[in-house]
């Protein structure tokens, strides 16, 4: 279940990459940059700024008769069976169905078209989400198919997964991008919906077998950018062996807009991105523990 294949990506690992986004995640982070990835099922997204109010979506929807008013359908229509007709009828792409079942070969075909760019830039393919490990058979198949074509791979994971599955996937990929969000378990539960204990245990297990992974820390003002959390994160990371670098990922508000486009309320509505100073301060904390650190990536 794929919701996007993004070409020429330069933010999900080294070089020029194609990032394959899979749907479904065991976490529900309040700052999620891709809230359309959280549900494992297809979803309707409505982008108001692209809507020309032609009413075509309403005309074709079997469930629209029960709805009052005119103009575009709301993102969430009671009874919606995700037939996709509204998306097909929409002339501007304002209404889209996100999430499509694809085979490994269908994805590989799109990936392989850009092999030249990967070769020239030491790039490759990143499989992200959502949580790629939640579609384990597909993930393994895609990693194997890329390897057989000589395409380097990275897997971006939240780390909340069965340990055996994570280690198996780690052996099949060239680079792991491992997200760390909050070190305090109660706060982690409050802001992501799950405990961080299995995540930290998985990171320690990964560290024993893999010597090429990056730690990615989203920087969310007022939630995880306090010195205590950053120092606890840096201390933990500095105790590992295989970390190549820490990537600080400053929060930005695109995720809040996407929540609204899905017809959901954005949990962090109105939150501003961190200032350049706040980002620099976070970098300094990681550097002070002897870690190589960058912003983005």
- By CB under 6 A, name the binding residues for ligand SF4: 44, 51-57, 60-61, 63, 71-73, 77, 80-86, 89-90, 92, 94-95
Q: Report, in Å, the least distance between residue 269 CB and ligand SF4.
A: 23
Beta bridge partners of 213: 176, 243
Q: What is the separation of C-alpha 176 from the centre of its chain, rounded to a whole number of angstroms?
A: 14
Q: Report, in Å, the least distance between residue 47 CB and ligand SF4.
A: 8
Contact 17, 128 (CB under 8 A): no
CB nearer ligand SF4, residue 92 or residue 144: 92
Q: Report, in Å, the least distance between residue 134 CB and ligand SF4.
A: 23
CB nearer ligand SF4, residue 49 or residue 265: 49
CA dist 85 to 60, 73, 94, 98, 100, Å? 7, 12, 13, 13, 14
Count CB atoms within 10 A of the CB of residue 288: 13
Q: Report, in Å, the least distance between residue 94 CB and ligand SF4.
A: 4
CB nearer ligand SF4, residue 89 or residue 264: 89
Q: Report, in Å, the least distance between residue 58 CB and ligand SF4.
A: 7
Q: And the tokens for 252?
A: 């930005």
CB nearer ligand SF4, residue 98 or residue 206: 98
The number of CA neighbours under 13 Å toward the Cβ of 270 is 0
CB nearer ligand SF4, residue 51 or residue 232: 51
Q: How far apart are CA 28 and CA 31, in angstroms?
A: 9
Q: How far apart are CA 15 and CA 125, in angstroms?
A: 10
């Amino acid at each position: 279940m794929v919701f996007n294949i993004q070409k020429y990506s330069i933010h999900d690992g080294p070089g020029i990459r194609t990032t394959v986004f899979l749907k479904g995640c065991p976490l529900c982070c309040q700052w999620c940059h891709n809230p359309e990835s959280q549900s494992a099922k297809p979803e309707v997204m409505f982008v108001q700024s692209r809507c020309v109010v032609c009413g075509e979506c309403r005309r074709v929807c079997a469930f629209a008769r029960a709805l009052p008013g005119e103009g575009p359908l709301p993102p969430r229509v009671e009874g919606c069976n995700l037939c996709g007709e509204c998306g097909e009828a929409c002339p501007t792409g304002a209404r889209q169905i996100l999430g499509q079942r694809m085979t490994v070969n269908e994805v590989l075909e799109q990936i392989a078209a850009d092999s030249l760019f990967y070769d020239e830039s030491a790039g490759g393919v990143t499989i992200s989400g959502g949580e790629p490990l939640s579609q384990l058979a597909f993930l393994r198949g895609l990693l194997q198919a890329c390897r057989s074509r000589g395409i380097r791979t990275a897997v971006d994971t939240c780390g909340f997964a069965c340990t055996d599955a994570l280690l198996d996937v780690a052996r099949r990929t060239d680079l792991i991008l491992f997200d760390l969000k909050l070190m305090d378990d109660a706060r982690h539960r409050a802001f992501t919906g799950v405990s961080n204990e299995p995540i930290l245990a998985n990171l320690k297990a990964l560290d024993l077998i893999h010597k090429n992974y990056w730690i990615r820390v989203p920087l969310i003002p007022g939630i995880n950018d306090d010195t205590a959390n950053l120092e606890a994160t840096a201390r933990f990371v500095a105790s590992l062996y295989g970390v190549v670098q820490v990537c600080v990922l400053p929060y930005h508000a695109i995720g809040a807009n996407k929540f609204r486009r899905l017809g959901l309320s954005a949990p962090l509505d109105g939150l501003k991105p961190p200032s350049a100073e706040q980002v620099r301060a976070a970098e300094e904390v990681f550097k002070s523990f002897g870690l190589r650190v960058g912003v983005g990536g």
